[in-house]
Amino acid sequence: MSESSNAPIRRRKLSDEVLERLLTRIRSGQLKAGDQLPPERELMREYDVGRPAVREAMQQLASMGMIAITHGERARVTEVTVHSMINQFDRTARFLLSESADNIDHLKEARLFLETGLTRMAADKAGAEDLQVLEGIIDDMVASAGRPEFIDHDMAFHNAIAEMSGNPIFAATSRAMLHWLKDYHVGIVSFKGAEDVSVSEHRQIAERIAAHDAEGAANAMRDHLTRASELYRARAEPGS
């Protein structure tokens, strides 16, 4: 007899069974985004379990982003997307970044790797409308120089490039990385001269994308992100 067949049979928690049954109802379309879940008492009666098992299953669904629980109302099924899935990591990601400067460097390295690849893809796929979007965002950057909105337009430029990939996982991951780094990026562009340099670098990236020069666009993005990271590091040093 194999070792696996000798393993003891473990009882499943009642809440896990309730969770699986509710997930099955959501997967099958019996419960759709926007629908309310049955009341707790109805679920208790239907599954022949106590209130703790139902509540624990509901909390697990909420932590998965599958349902929204509002005080005084029945839980409601939410629409699950790649963006909502990644947003579930937001609080943990912010905690990790606040705990260690090494984690910030690791995230920047991951972003550099991802965004240079996305920029290469954008140069291959970009159409006339995509290029108009990039030019419009650069115009917004110029118009908002010296104001807090500048960083939002800067981020919009990078998000637009990620969207050109046509891959929602790439786009959501890139957006999340930039969102998590936003607090650190504000310090990079908040002094005289930095905004002009940033606009110039974004123009170079857009020009290479418009020329469908994949390697040139990727190199321009790499130079831009590397320069920004080095500038942040220099300004973060004591006495800078």
Longest dimension (CA), the chain: 74
Once rounded to an integer, what is the mean pLDDT over residues 101-112? 89
CA distance 94 to 92: 5
The residue ranking higher by pLDDT, 105 or 124, is: 124
What residue ranges define each of the domains in the chain, with the CATH number in brackets?
Answer: 3-80 (1.10.10.10), 86-236 (1.20.120.530)
**115 touches 221 (CB < 8 A):** yes
Does residue 129 register a pLDDT over 60? Answer: yes
What pLDDT was estimated at residue 215?
Answer: 97
What pLDDT was estimated at residue 110?
Answer: 93
Which helix or strand (DSSP H or E) is residue 68 part of?
strand 67-68
**161 touches 201 (CB < 8 A):** no
Quote the percentage of the chain above a pLDDT of 70: 85
Once rounded to an integer, what is the mean pLDDT over residues 26-55? 94
Residue 80: band (very low, low, confident or very high) from pLDDT cuts 50, 70, 90: confident
pLDDT mean across residues, the chain: 86
The residue ranking higher by pLDDT, 219 or 98, is: 219
CA distance 186 to 146: 12
Once rounded to an integer, what is the mean pLDDT over residues 207-221? 97
Once rounded to an integer, what is the mean pLDDT over residues 19-44? 94
Does residue 37 register a pLDDT over 60? Answer: yes
Q: Going by C-beta distance under 8 Å and a sequence separation of 6 or more, which residues neighbour residue 127?
A: none
Residue in 34, 39, 30 with CA at minimum distance from that of residue 76: 34
